[in-house]
């Protein structure tokens, strides 16, 4: 009998993940799977749980947000090339689900487990690492890193935590607005596949996924199976250029050349003379003066909807 582990974050999606996990377990058992149910209880717990069961399972179902998915893949390690990951999205941004075409409605996502052979397939996806830390979607430096770090600080307050639960997007907006008025300009030097770019940048997004969040795209050329990292590096500092960048992202277009440079490579190194903030997949990742980001082609596999004939 095929074995599956069902990993879920009980607080994800304001508690929806627990109910989704119960339905996912029933769907898997009805489809003939032997299921082990695993509940996370603390940050980083998903990584430990996935590592402990990686060698003994054929499928890992994650009911939660992007952070839980990233932790689970980290725990799977090399087994991620063999163990297919199925996602029941219960987070706020759900970048992984949006990028891979997985339905955002948990009930519709569960249908992929119920009708596995007919409506779904396994797709190989690139992963990447930033100074050794695995990520799926993107690394952000500059303004958006300050936004993510600021959001994390706001969520540590009682008011901020309650606000995020009620309307997360509005708190993101406030954090982004506050980050605009931190007038500290980064001077980032990028080296792409060993070749240094001939200017300094004030911000950059290094992306494996096209989707940045809520359907936006900072780096519209990125694809999760391209075998390369794509980047947008902003060369102009100031509020008007951030606004221009965001408008381009809303319409999934490249930021104009007078604002940003675009390109791709398998290994991108970012250096600066003083520490700069880093965000990874929407989570704060500290500061550094030297960041190396590398792609790992076809390093994971996901259960995704099968394309319909003629589409």
pLDDT by residue (tens digit) across 301-311?
999 998 765 55
Where residue 213 falls (left for φ over 0; alpha for ψ -120 to 50; beta otherwise) is left
- Give yes or no for residue 173 having a pLDDT over 90: no
Nearest residue to 299 via CA among 94, 130, 79, 139: 79
Q: What is the mean pLDDT of the segment spanning 197-224?
A: 92
Segment 86-104 shows an average pLDDT of 89
For the segment 213-219, the average pLDDT, to the nearest whole number, is: 86
Does 205 have pLDDT greater than 70?
yes
Give me the percent of the chain exceeding a pLDDT of 90. 59
**What is the pTM assigned to this prediction?**
0.89
Mean pLDDT of 149-172: 88
CATH number (3.40.50.1950, 3.40.50.970, 3.40.50.280, 2.60.200.40) of 135-297 reads 2.60.200.40
* pLDDT tens-place string over residues 217-250: 999 999 999 999 999 999 998 889 999 999 999 9
Confirm if 215 and 98 have CB atoms less than 8 A apart. Answer: yes
> What does the alpha-carbon distance between residue 264 and residue 17 come to, in Å, rounded to a whole number?
36
Q: Report the pLDDT value the prediction gives residue 13, as an integer from 0 to 100.
A: 53
Q: How far apart are CA 300 and CA 54, in angstroms?
A: 13
Q: Give the pLDDT confidence score for residue 29 in this predicted structure.
A: 87
pLDDT of residue 183: 65
Tokens at residue 157, please? 């307050």
Find the range with the poorest average confidence among 64-68, 203-207, 273-277.
Answer: 64-68
Q: What is the CA radius of gyration of the chain?
A: 19
**pLDDT at res. 15:** 59
State the average pLDDT for the chain.
89
Using pLDDT thresholds of 50, 70 and 90, give the confidence band for residue 115: low
Segment 202-209 mean pLDDT: 96
Query: Which parts of the chain fold into alpha helices (H)?
Result: 16-30, 45-53, 66-76, 95-100, 106-114, 116-119, 143-155, 158-180, 239-250
Instruction: Judge whether 33 and 44 are in contact, CB under 8 Å.
Output: no
Residue 17 has pLDDT above 80, yes or no: no
Is the domain spanning 3-114 CATH 1.10.10.200? The answer is: no
31 band by pLDDT with thresholds 50, 70 and 90: confident
Hey, CA dihedral for 212, 215, 219, 225, is it positive or negative? positive
What does DSSP assign to residue 222?
Answer: -
Mean pLDDT on 151-179: 88
Instruction: Supply the pLDDT for residue 224.
Output: 95
CA angle 221, 227, 231 (to 5 degrees): 40
pLDDT digits (tens, 9 = 90+) for 40-75: 888 889 999 999 999 999 999 999 888 889 999 999
Tell me how far apart the terminal alpha carbons of the chain are, to the nearest angstrom.
35
pLDDT above 60 for 117? no
Mean pLDDT across 155-172: 87
Q: Domain map of the chain by residue range? A: 3-114, 135-297
What pLDDT score was predicted for residue 33?
Answer: 87
**Rounded to an integer, what is the distance from CA 158 to the centroid of its chain?**
26
């Amino acid at each position: 009998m095929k074995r599956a582990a069902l990993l879920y974050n009980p607080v994800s999606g304001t508690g929806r993940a627990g109910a989704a996990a119960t339905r996912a377990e029933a769907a898997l058992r009805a489809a003939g799977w032997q299921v082990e149910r695993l509940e996370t209880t603390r940050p980083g717990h998903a990584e430990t749980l996935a590592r402990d069961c990686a060698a003994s399972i054929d499928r890992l179902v994650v009911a939660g947000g992007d952070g839980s998915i990233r932790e689970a893949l980290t725990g799977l390690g090399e087994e991620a090339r063999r163990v297919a990951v199925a996602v029941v999205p219960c987070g706020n941004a759900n970048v992984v689900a949006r990028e891979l075409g997985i339905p955002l409605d948990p009930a519709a996502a569960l249908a992929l487990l119920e009708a596995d052979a007919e409506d779904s397939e396994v797709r190989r996806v690139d992963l990447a690492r930033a100074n050794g830390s695995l990520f799926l979607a993107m690394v952000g430096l500059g303004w958006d890193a300050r936004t993510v770090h600021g959001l994390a600080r706001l969520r540590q307050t009682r008011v901020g935590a309650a606000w995020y639960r009620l309307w997360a997007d509005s708190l993101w907006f406030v954090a982004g607005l506050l980050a605009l008025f931190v007038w500290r300009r980064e001077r980032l030097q990028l080296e792409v596949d060993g070749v240094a770019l001939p200017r300094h940048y004030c911000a950059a997004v290094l992306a494996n996924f096209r989707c940045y969040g809520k359907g936006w795209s900072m780096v519209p050329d990125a694809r999760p199976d391209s075998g390369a990292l794509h980047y947008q590096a902003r060369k102009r500092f100031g509020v008007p250029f951030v606004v221009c960048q965001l408008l381009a992202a809303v319409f999934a277009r490249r930021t104009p050349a007078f604002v940003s440079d675009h390109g791709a490579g398998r290994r991108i190194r970012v250096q600066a003379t003083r520490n700069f903030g880093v965000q990874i997949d929407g989570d704060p990742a500290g500061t550094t003066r030297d960041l190396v980001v590398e792609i790992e082609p076809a390093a994971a596999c996901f259960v995704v909807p099968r394309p319909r004939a003629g589409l």
